[in-house]
């Protein structure tokens, strides 16, 4: 539902929203910066005010648009009166915010495109290692164009493309005013979809491939969730590094189509979870060395199978848990094969490294994109007004196309 009321008008009609709006703007200045403007522009944003199932909670009346009980479902009305943090059918409603002028280190950005990632869904659900204060604008990744900069901004200028420096910025909106330090400038000569999906999955893939094992050309890597955004980036970056990949996916009706697509990206082998358990799989290792690195995004039995195929002394890096099951490693594998279990979270990597190091990583990936060695995952572009469809599609099983909101 698109709401086209001004925040100021909503304040007049719904005084009870004033306290929440004050909290919104006060919180906004920690990641965004707002100052007075004689003629505020309208900004559409996808906002959530409570954690929960995105199909139910991202309808939050949290930005002062004068919601009344008629905007709520019968189930919502049972939960309490019509105040912003209780109007949650909360999970998917576009709100109009007021944007104000830039000053100092502020940067006015018009968002161009922003994907829906699993981490975005987890954050809305409240199941993530980093949670922004509520109410919050959804989206951790995306690309925008600089419209204007404050007087003390030195590294950015109007026309530049920028991506978030860290998670939690809130990219599902048409425009915003952010602080300069919240943004990283990127080259404009790469495709829009590549730019919009640059800051999370390819970075995760690259760091896992180079940080945990000193792999050499000809070495092999095994991974599950190989059709995910990270998985597709791993295939391409590994190919650029002349590494071989063994890629495990869940069986599905269109498995041949998926296999062909991953091989087109550079995958050497594509196996289903069931095929990985078959004795015949050992024949693969007649043609390539046992993998010294395994990348796990699933957990449960899938991760156990990855461990079984690791070379002695190898490392399994876990960066996700799609199966919502623990990683189980047998004592014999740990003792007699000396396997190592590690975890990776890009946000933690950023905390341990400087902004310049992150910028260097981004530029390395941009070079791969220019060379045609790294492309965006299969994407479906959806106008911001179609966010409900995009959210629902992003949570369906066996969907290989990433949903990208275009502004």
Smallest CA-to-CA distance from 209 within 353, 361, 335 is with 361
**First CA to last CA across the chain, in angstroms?**
16
Q: Is 128 an annotated catalytic residue? A: yes
CA distance 87 to 73: 9
Sheet containing strand 244-249, strands side by side: 269-272, 244-249, 220-223, 293-296, 315-318, 340-343
**Beta carbons within 10 angstroms of residue 159's beta carbon:** 9
Closest CA to 199 of 182, 220, 213: 182
Pairing of strands 220-223, 293-296: parallel
Cβ atoms 87, 59 nearer than 8 A: yes
Query: Which residue among the candidates 128, 206, 319, 387 is catalytic per the annotation?
Result: 128
Q: 332: which 2 tokens?
A: 């014999």
- 316-339 residues labelled b (16+ CB within 10 A) or e (exposed): bbbbbbbbeeebebeeebeeebeb
Catalytic residues: 128
């Amino acid at each position: 539902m698109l709401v086209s009321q001004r925040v100021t008008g909503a304040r007049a009609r719904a005084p009870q929203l004033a306290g929440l709006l004050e909290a919104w703007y006060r919180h906004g200045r920690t990641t965004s910066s707002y100052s007075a403007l004689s003629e505020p522009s309208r900004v559409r944003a996808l906002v959530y005010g409570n954690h929960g199932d995105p199909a139910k909670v991202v309808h939050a009346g949290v930005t002062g648009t004068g919601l009344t009980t008629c905007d709520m479902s019968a189930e919502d009305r049972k939960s309490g009166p019509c105040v912003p943090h209780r109007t949650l059918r909360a999970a998917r409603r576009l709100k109009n915010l007021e944007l104000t002028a830039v000053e100092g280190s502020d940067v006015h950005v018009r968002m161009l495109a922003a994907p829906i990632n699993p981490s975005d869904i987890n954050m809305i659900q409240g199941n993530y290692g980093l949670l922004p204060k509520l109410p919050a604008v959804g989206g951790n990744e995306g690309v925008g164009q600089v419209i204007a900069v404050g007087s003390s901004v030195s590294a950015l200028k109007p026309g530049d493309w920028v991506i978030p420096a860290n998670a939690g910025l809130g990219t599902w909106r048409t425009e915003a005013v952010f602080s300069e330090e919240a943004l990283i400038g990127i080259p404009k000569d790469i495709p829009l979809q590549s730019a919009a999906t640059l800051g999370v999955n390819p970075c995760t893939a690259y760091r896992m491939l180079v940080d945990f094992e000193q792999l050499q050309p000809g070495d092999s890597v095994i991974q599950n969730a190989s059709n995910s955004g990270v998985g597709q980036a791993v295939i391409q970056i590994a190919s650029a590094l002349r590494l071989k990949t063994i890629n495990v996916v869940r069986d599905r009706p269109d498995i041949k189509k998926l296999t062909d697509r991953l091989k087109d990206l550079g995958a050497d082998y594509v196996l289903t979870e069931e095929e990985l358990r078959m004795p015949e799989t050992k024949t693969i290792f007649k043609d390539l060395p046992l993998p010294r690195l395994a990348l796990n995004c699933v957990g449960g039995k899938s991760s156990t199978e990855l461990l079984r195929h690791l070379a002695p002394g190898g490392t399994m890096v876990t960066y996700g848990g799609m199966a919502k099951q623990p990683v189980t490693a047998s004592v014999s594998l740990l003792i007699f094969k000396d396997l190592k279990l590690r975890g990776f979270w890009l946000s933690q990597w950023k905390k341990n490294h400087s902004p310049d190091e992150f910028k260097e990583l981004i530029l390395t990936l941009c070079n791969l994109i220019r060379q045609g060695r790294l492309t965006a995952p299969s994407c479906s572009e959806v106008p911001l007004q179609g966010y409900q469809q995009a959210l629902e599609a992003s949570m369906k099983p066996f969907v290989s196309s990433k949903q990208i909101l275009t502004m």
